[in-house]
Structure 1
Amino acid sequence: MSLTTIKKSNLASDLIILKGKLESEGITCYLKNEFTTQLMHYVPTCEVELQVLNSDLEQVEKIMSAMQV
């Protein structure tokens, strides 16, 4: 199972809408470093990464393009 990061942010809340849209389309998503950033929110280099399976990348790109993300 290979994952690709499609978007990064210092706050998990910035990624929630996109994650919800992708999951509503049947795409499994993961938030890497979600809890680390909640504990270490004062560290600017600590980012949350929205990741998807490599096999879903083509569909994800179409969705993100339609959302203008």
Structure 2
Amino acid sequence: MSLITIKKSHIESDLLVFKSKLESEGIKCSLKNEFTTQIMNYLPSFEVELQISSSDLDRAKEIFNEMEQI
């Protein structure tokens, strides 16, 4: 299973809504660099990355499109 990044942000809370929605739809996700950005938030090169399995990409795109219509 390979993980792919589907969304990035310097602020972790920006991704938590998307992560919560994906998980409620049965898609497992993880936040990469979650703790690094909390400790080293003064470095703009560090971003939190929302990652999912590549096999869930199509469904995740559908969910994001639904969220944008609301």
TM-score (norm 2): 0.95
Structure 1: any 5+ residue segments left out of the alignment?
none
Which residue of structure 2 aligns with residue 36 of structure 1?
36
SS at match of 2:5: strand
CA distance in structure 2 between the aligned counterparts of 1:6 and 1:12, rounded to whole angstroms: 14
CA distance in structure 2 between the aligned counterparts of 1:9 and 1:45, rounded to whole angstroms: 11
Moved over 6 A (4+): none
| 1:67 equivalenced with 2:70 (yes/no) | no
Structure 2: any 5+ residue segments left out of the alignment?
none
Letter in 1 for 2:10: N
| 1:16 equivalenced with 2:12 (yes/no) | no
Which residue of structure 2 aligns with residue 50 of structure 1?
50
- String of CA shifts for 1:7-39, please: whole Å, max 9, x gaps: 000011110000000000000001000000000
- State the aligned residue count: 69
* Identity within the alignment, %: 59
Provide the aligned C-alpha RMSD in A.
1.1
State the Cα distance separating 1:45 from its structure 2 match. 1.0
CA distance in structure 2 between the aligned counterparts of 1:46 and 1:7, rounded to whole angstroms: 13
TM-score (norm 1): 0.96
